[in-house]
Amino acid sequence: MQGITIALSKGRIFEETRPLLEAAGIRAAEDPETSRKLIIETNRPDVRIIIVRASDVPTYVQHGGADLGIAGKDVLMEHGGEGLYQPLDLGIARCRLMVAVREGFDYALAVQQGARLRVATKYLQVSREHFAAKGVHVDLIKLYGSMELAPLVGLADAIVDVVSSGNTLKANRLVAVEEIASISARLVVNQASLKLAGTSLRPIMDAFARASAVAT
Ligand code: PRT
Ligand code: MG
């Protein structure tokens, strides 16, 4: 039988996926936080885990570099989800995709006055659609991380980023002014894998579904 490859990112996605893997009888042979290996074997000879950037998970699964993957809805919205079957909301790694500005910046007034806003984000596609739908004119500035810094140094008027506790915003004297989407991590499946290896993927998908239903 053809083996199964699962694409995960280090950090919160891997940590919050661990119990779901456990429920499917899958245990990683090494901890990706300490190992430098990008392919991690598991207790099951037919299952391996690949460690990729969070934003690369949909790409690996779409092109068959992995059969299954777990990615935040923010990442999937930005990617577009093309070629991916998305059967399951796992309810993990929850956060909200928000527009945030510096304390004291009157976002509502700027929007009302039809001002052109400079928005820093790594979510270019999602932001473009969001502001276009609201009829707000924006200049988007692509960043790869630490978006919270941009308004503080005058690079942008606003940011679009995910927020969970809100502590990072607060520590940098930013306030969330608009929610774009409520986010959680989703299971994504390569469509061809589902057809070819459907019988071997199904038990894993079912175990994830049961375990996430229990957890949420
Ligand atoms: O780190 P890398 O650039 O490779 O990618 P990434 O930052 O997207 O990956 P990772 O592992 O940090 O996040 C993976 C997924 O977890 C995201 O795609 C989201 O769906 C989800 N998630 C849930 C979060 C958060 N919560 C979160 N808080 N992703 C990022 N954050 C950031 C947030 O932007 C802020 O800068 O964590 C910081 C702390 O957040 P607060 O609000 O708790 O202070
Ligand atoms: Mg990160």
Beta carbons of 80 and 125 less than 8 angstroms apart? yes
Ligand closest in space to the Cα of 123: 1
Helices (H), the chain: 12-23, 57-62, 73-79, 107-112, 124-134, 167-171, 191-196, 198-215
Q: Is 5 in the pocket of ligand 1 (CB under 6 A)?
A: no
Domains of the chain and any CATH numbers = 4-93+184-215 (3.40.190.10), 95-182 (3.40.190.10)
Q: Is 12 in the pocket of ligand 1 (CB under 6 A)?
A: yes
3-state secondary structure 49-100: EEECCHHHHHHHHHCCCCCEEEEEHHHHHHHCCCCEEEEEECCCCCEEEEEE
Helix (H, G, I), strand (E, B) or coil at 134: helix
pLDDT in tens, 145-192: 999 999 999 999 999 999 999 999 999 999 999 999 999 999 999 999
pLDDT at site 195: 87
pLDDT in tens, 9-41: 999 999 999 999 999 999 999 999 999 999 999
